[in-house]
């Protein structure tokens, strides 16, 4: 994707006005792991996912009703396929964060930035740059140390689920770039169809797994509703519209760089608000993940 230039005379004054909302998206995404962990248990994962996305789907459908009608049948099918992958991502992430720390979750999921170029290189049969391979190795070493904060033991089930979620995110990115049917379609209707498909998957799964969404909602107190609204309104709806708005006013690479700070905010929220502790090995591992993913972004830039 080519960069969208910012007029030179306006960039110094207005760039920060664009950067600030995008950075706020990275902050709320980073905090989303702690919020999801706070309101979700292993039994209520699917019910919470239904509630989270069912709350924002009507807004997307109303705002994008004209563009939804303009989608072709092939575009609907392509977006629905992406929605199936998206549902798998959220299932893995949410079950994962229930069984690991919010800090680990945010740092491990950042490996998507390493996995995606490696997967693209495998698909196109090209050799990644040596600098990128070094960055990938550093990131993997960081994850190994991150999950061993209390000594060298087997990674937790949540750590492994977050690793699978990072791989699923990579698959989603590759599919978006290679499913011809969705090329050229507007982001808004594609997102609405994807989220609608995901909600349908979650609703079908909820029929035989754990409490029904309305039962879970009835048991929520003020704290749980605040967390759910945070995940729905800020982490989903606000984040989507800010990305659409920002990419038209600055470069996609600049947006990507700002959103790449998400694991920093995830670690900060987990430690400062969630009372999580990494230990010496975990701190070194987290630092290596951050350095490795940053190095990897530069190596592929």
Residues 63-103: tens digit of each pLDDT = 989 999 999 999 999 999 999 999 999 999 999 999 998 88
Q: Distance (Å, rounded) from C-alpha 3 to C-alpha 124?
A: 23
Q: For tokens 């990579």, name the residue.
A: 170
240-269 exposure pattern, b = at least 16 Cβ within 10 A, e = fewer: bbbbeebbebbbeebbebbbbbbbbbbbbb
**Contact present, 82 and 176 (Cβ < 8 Å):** yes
Q: Record the tokens describing residue 214, joined without a space.
A: 């309305």
Per-residue pLDDT tens over the stretch 194-247 = 999 999 999 999 987 778 999 999 999 999 999 999 999 999 999 988 887 876
- Return the axis-axis angle of helices 187-206 and 239-247, rounded to nearest 10°: 160
pLDDT at residue 249 tops 90: no
Q: Distance (Å, rounded) from C-alpha 291 to C-alpha 136?
A: 10
Averaged pLDDT, 158-175: 92
Higher pLDDT, residue 239 or 299? 239
Q: Distance (Å, rounded) from C-alpha 114 to C-alpha 52?
A: 28
Residue 13's pLDDT band (cuts 50, 70, 90): low
Residue 282's pLDDT band (cuts 50, 70, 90): confident
Minimum mean pLDDT range among 54-58, 83-87, 114-118:
114-118
Percent share of the chain, pLDDT over 90: 44
SS3 per-residue string spanning 229-268? HHHHHHHHHHHHHHHHHHHCCCCHHHHHHHHCCHHHHHHH
- Mean residue pLDDT of the chain comes to 85
pLDDT at residue 301 tops 70: no
Note the pLDDT of residue 149: 60
Q: For tokens 């992430």, name the residue.
A: 93
Sign of CA dihedral 108, 137, 113, 254: positive
Torsion angle, alpha carbons of 221, 34, 42, 200, to 10: 80
């Amino acid at each position: 994707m080519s960069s969208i230039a910012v007029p030179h005379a306006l960039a110094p004054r207005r760039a920060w006005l664009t950067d600030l909302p995008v950075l706020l998206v990275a902050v709320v995404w980073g905090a989303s792991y702690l919020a999801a962990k706070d309101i979700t248990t292993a039994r209520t994962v699917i019910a919470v996912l239904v509630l989270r996305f069912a709350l924002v789907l009507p807004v997307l459908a109303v705002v994008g009703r004209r563009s939804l009608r303009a989608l072709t049948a092939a575009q609907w099918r392509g977006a629905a396929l992406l929605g199936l992958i998206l549902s798998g991502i959220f299932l893995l992430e949410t079950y994962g964060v229930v069984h690991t720390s919010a800090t680990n979750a945010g740092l491990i999921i950042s490996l998507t930035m390493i996995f995606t170029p490696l997967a693209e290189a495998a698909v196109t049969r090209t050799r990644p740059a040596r600098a990128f391979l070094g960055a990938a190795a550093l990131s993997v070493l960081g994850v190994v140390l991150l999950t061993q904060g209390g000594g060298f033991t087997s990674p937790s089930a949540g750590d492994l689920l977050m690793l699978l979620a990072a791989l699923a995110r990579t698959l989603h990115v590759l599919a978006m770039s290679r499913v011809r049917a969705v090329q050229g379609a507007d982001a808004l209707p594609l997102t609405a169809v994807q989220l609608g498909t995901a909600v349908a998957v979650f609703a079908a799964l909820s029929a035989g797994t754990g409490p029904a969404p309305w039962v879970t909602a009835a048991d929520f107190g003020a704290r749980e509703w605040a967390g759910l609204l945070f995940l729905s309104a800020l982490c989903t709806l606000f984040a989507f519209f800010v990305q659409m708005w920002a990419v038209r006013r600055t470069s996609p690479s600049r947006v990507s760089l700002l959103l790449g700070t998400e694991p920093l905010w995830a670690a900060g929220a987990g430690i400062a608000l969630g009372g999580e502790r990494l230990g010496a090995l975990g701190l070194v591992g987290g630092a290596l993940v951050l350095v490795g993913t940053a190095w990897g972004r530069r190596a592929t830039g």
